[in-house]
Amino acid sequence: MDLDQQVSQSFQHAKEAYAEWDVDITQALDTLSSVPISINCWQGDDVRGFEELADISDGGLQVTGGYPGRARTPDELRADAEKAFSLIPGNHRFNLHAMYGEFPEGPVPRNEIAPGHFSGWIDWAKYQQIGLDFNPTFFADEMLKDGLTLSHPDSAVREYWIEHGRACRRIGEAMGEALGTPCVVNVWIPDGSKDLPYDRRGPRERLNQSLDKVFADRIDDTVMKDAVESKLFGIGVESFTAGSHEFYLGYALKNDTLLCLDSGHFHPTEQVGDKIPAILTFLDELLLHISRPVRWDSDHIVIMDDMLHLIAQSIIRGNYLSRVNIGLDFFDATVNRVAAWVIGTRAVQKALLMALLEPHEHLENLEQHGNKTERLALFETLKSLPFGAVWDYFCLQQDVPPRMAWMDEIREYERSVLSQRQ
């Protein structure tokens, strides 16, 4: 019996198992196939981009490892992304940083970048029939002064970065108009202090004023959506972070932007999944950057862990799919970078599928009637239902390899393409 036959046979048994709980597998798979995940470009090249940049660790970022095959050009990065897309079920998006523009005439100051520097990406996305998302790059630049950007005391420094933010919004607008799907433009800055500051008010007031200038021009949210992203701390800003969660939550509520929750940007005991329904009680929409922190914000490749399960359950149980923009944020140079994209994206899809396969009406009924014992027993029973057989069938349905079969294509791509890069 070949693999396709094994998968189909296992799927029939899975249908019977889930039917006992009145779970509509067909509907679950239809829903999953419609969920786009914004895949992070920076996994493919170790967050280097295509400018002549300073060390990216100047801004709180570090990439470890030296696995062969890093993408060195836009064309190589696009080719690697296409290979990853071919091994991931569904139709997804690609998330770019400003430093990934194409600058054939030489470096361009960040405050002067324009849509034309991303025309190659827009043309590629049209051909791939995918959407693009975008991020200003507030790090690895000579105008990052004292580790500060939008909150810097010097107005000239702030104005440079304000103009960069405004330029990035225009780029996002051009992407959304060209591709017919709104581009989410997400603002994250590294501003903070390594040791204890005296003034915690001034930087936040300056940041608030700078953001107001960045977002001053109203752009139709059918082509571009603004998001702001918080962080607990970073390398070199361990004692104070200007753009904290509380700051950006307040800013998003007051100014009607999306709030970005990065699952690596909180204390290890905090659960991002629990924050989703709390915040969406007041905000219309969220952006997620799903990462895997190991002890701190280390941006490990996403896997099927408890944190991811809770995120997926919160989205599905709350009926929030139309209000949550799902993106990835990790970088690991110790493994095959294309495989990392596939592992991380498929992990998020698997978690969503598990949540979609829950017997929602039955669980809700148990909870409404206060039957906590049976609710807990059912939670545990669901963990052993044949979810994997449904996932494998979904992969076949979407014409991508199930189980570990996709690794055959990764090995061949590494042999024929990645290993040739010196």
DSSP code at position 195: S
β-bridge partners, 184: 225
Q: What is the SS3 assignment for 361?
A: helix
Count of residues making up the chain: 422
Between the alpha carbon of residue 418 and those of residues 64, 77, 121, 337, 374, the distances in Å are 18, 11, 21, 10, 52
DSSP 3-state assignment of 164? helix
Residue 363 belongs to what H/E stretch? Answer: helix 360-368
Model confidence pLDDT, tens digit, residues 144-173: 999 999 999 999 999 999 999 999 999 999
pTM for the whole structure: 0.96
- The H-assigned helical ranges of 227-305 are 245-255, 272-280
Q: Which CATH architecture has domain 36-356?
A: Alpha-Beta Barrel (3.20)
Strand partners, 187: 228
Spatial separation of the C-alpha atoms in residues 140 and 200, rounded to whole Å? 24
Specify the DSSP element, H or E, that contains 325: strand 324-328
Whether residue 134 contacts residue 172, with contact meaning beta carbons closer than 8 Å, is answered with yes
59: confidence class by pLDDT, cuts 50, 70, 90: low
In this structure, are residues 241 and 247 in contact, taking their beta carbons and an 8 Å threshold?
A: no
Domain ranges of the chain: 1-23+359-422, 36-356
CA distance 55 to 58: 6
Q: How far apart are CA 288 and CA 305, in angstroms?
A: 16
Tokens of 235: 């390398």
Active site residues: 188, 229, 231, 262, 265, 289, 297, 299, 329
Question: Band of the pLDDT at 234, cuts 50, 70, 90?
Answer: confident
Of 275, 272, 203, residue with least CA distance to 241: 203
**Mean of pLDDT over the chain:** 95
Per residue in 333-389, pLDDT (tens digit) is 999 999 999 999 999 999 999 999 999 999 999 999 999 999 999 999 999 999 999
Cα–Cα separations (whole angstroms), residue 275 to 184, 220, 375:
20, 27, 22
Span 12-58, pLDDT tens digits: 999 999 999 999 999 999 999 999 999 999 999 999 999 976 556 56
